[in-house]
Amino acid sequence: MKNRREFLLTLTAGLVAVAVILTPVIAEEFFGFITKVDAEGKKLTVVKKDDSEVEVKVTDSTEVASAKGTAPINLGKLSKDLTKYKGAGVKGIPVYVEHEKKVASKIRIVQKKKSVD
């Protein structure tokens, strides 16, 4: 009985370790600014910190997370928000993009921290 428990415990610990190691490999993430929204082509152009441009495709299952919560992507709203950001003199919408092979699964909009006076 004791050998069976040790075996199951070892097996479970091994599976958890493999899951923890493989999870970051599945999806890549980078920080950048959304500078262009192509609603017809379902694509976003994101400029990374090193000023390289990356074109990321979005699907109906792509989620957008913000301070208000998580919702399916709405390219029309994202385009309007981008116009507001650029009108305020900002490079674009600051985001973290989780993707696999340049297909976005989740986009997290970075909110500015309010300074304490």
26 contacts: CB under 8 Å, gap ≥ 6: 100
Largest separation between any pair of C-alpha atoms in the chain: 70
Pairing of strands 28-38, 103-109: unpaired
**The model scores a pTM over 0.75:** no
Map out the domains of the chain with their CATH numbers: 28-109 (2.40.50.140)
User: In terms of pLDDT, which residue wins out, 73 or 17?
Assistant: 73
Tokens 């190691």, located at residue? 21
pLDDT score for 115: 47
DSSP string over 79-93: HHHHHHHHHTT-SSE
% the chain with pLDDT above 90:
54
Over residues 16-31, the pLDDT tens digits come to 887 777 655 566 889 9
Task: Say if residue 66's pLDDT is above 60.
Answer: yes
